[in-house]
Structure 1
Amino acid sequence: MTVFLPILVCLCGGVGASCRYLLDVTIKTYWQRAFPLSTFTINLIAGFLAGLVAALALGGTLDEPWRLVLATGFLGGFSTFSTAINEMVTLFRKHRYPTAAAYLVLSLGVPVVAAACGFLV
C-alpha cells in the first residue's frame, strides 16, 4: 500500500472535493439566504467524520494508511475552511455584520464540537 498511498490520497481528495461540490450545489438550490449554510454544513459533516476517523485510528480499528486516505485525502478535499473565511469576509464587506459574526463563531465552534461527537461515537 505504501507505493500507492500518495496516489490514493490524491484520488480520495478529488472524490471529497466532488462530494463537496455536489452537496454545495444541492443546498444552494434550496437555501438562498445570506447565511452560507452549504459551507457550514459541509464543514460540520467533515468535522464529525474527522472525529470518527481519529477515534477509529486511535482505537486500532483503522490502520494509519487508511486514516491518511480518509482524513487527509477525502476529508481534506471535502472540507473547506478557506471558503468559509472568504464567505465571512464577503458578509463583512456587504455590511451584514450580525450574520458575519454569527457565521464566524459557528464556523469555528460547531465543527470542533462535531469532531468531538464523532470521536465519542
Structure 2
Amino acid sequence: MTTLTTALMICVCGGLGAVTRFVLNTSIQRLWNRAFPLSTFIINVIATFCAGIAAASYAYQTVDQYTYLLFVTGFLGGFSTFSTAINEIVSLTRRKRFVMAALYCALTIVVPLLCVAGGWAVIAASQA
C-alpha cells in the first residue's frame, strides 16, 4: 500500500468512526436527560476497550499492522472523543456542578484505563 492510499483509508475509517459516534451519541442523549454526560462516557468506554483488544491483537500478531492502523488510528480516532469529555468537565465546572465534574473527571481517566486492560486481557486469555 502506498502512503497516500493508507492516508485515504484512515480518513474513510475515521469518518465511519465519527458517524458511528454521532449515531450512538444522539441515541443515548434521547434517552438520558441528566447532568452526567453519559453518551461521551459510554463512547469512550467502548473505544478504550476496543483499543485494548486491538493493541493485544497486534502484539500477539493476530492482526497485521495495516488493519491495526486503520482500526485504531482511523475508526477509533474518529469514534472516541476525549476532547469532548474534557470540554464537558469544563462545562460542568462553569455551571458550578463541582462534585459532578470531579466524579466525571475521575471516571473519564480511571475507567478507560481499566477498559484498555480488560480488552487486552480478553485477547491474552484467548492466546494462553
TM-score, with normalisation over the residues of structure 2?
0.93
1:102 corresponding residue in structure 2: 103
Gaps of 5+ in 2: 123-128
Partner amino acid, structure 2, of 1:84: A
Deviations 1:16-64 (A, max 9, x none): 0000000000000000000000000000000000000001000001101
1:47 corresponding residue in structure 2: 48
What pairs with 1:2-41 in structure 2 (closer than 5 Å)?
2-3=2-3, 4-41=5-42
Gaps of 5+ in 1: none
Hey, what's the Cα distance between the residues in 2 that align with 1:51 and 1:8?
22
Hey, what's the Cα distance between the residues in 2 that align with 1:60 and 1:35?
39
Partner amino acid, structure 1, of 2:8: I
Partner amino acid, structure 2, of 1:55: A
2:91 corresponding residue in structure 1: 90
Hey, what's the Cα distance between the residues in 2 that align with 1:94 and 1:16?
30
Deviations 1:70-116 (A, max 9, x none): 00000000000000000000000000011100000000110110011
Q: CA deviation at 1:9?
A: 0.7
Percent of aligned pairs sharing the same letter:
50
Hey, what's the Cα distance between the residues in 2 that align with 1:69 and 1:9?
5
Hey, what's the Cα distance between the residues in 2 that align with 1:61 and 1:52?
11
Q: Verify: 1:64 aligned to 2:48, yes or no.
A: no
Hey, what's the Cα distance between the residues in 2 that align with 1:7 and 1:59?
27
Hey, what's the Cα distance between the residues in 1 that align with 2:79 and 2:96?
29
Hey, what's the Cα distance between the residues in 1 that align with 2:47 and 2:113?
10
Q: CA deviation at 1:5?
A: 1.2
Q: CA deviation at 1:2?
A: 3.4
Hey, what's the Cα distance between the residues in 2 that align with 1:2 and 1:41?
35
Give the alignment's Cα RMSD to 1 decimal.
Answer: 0.7
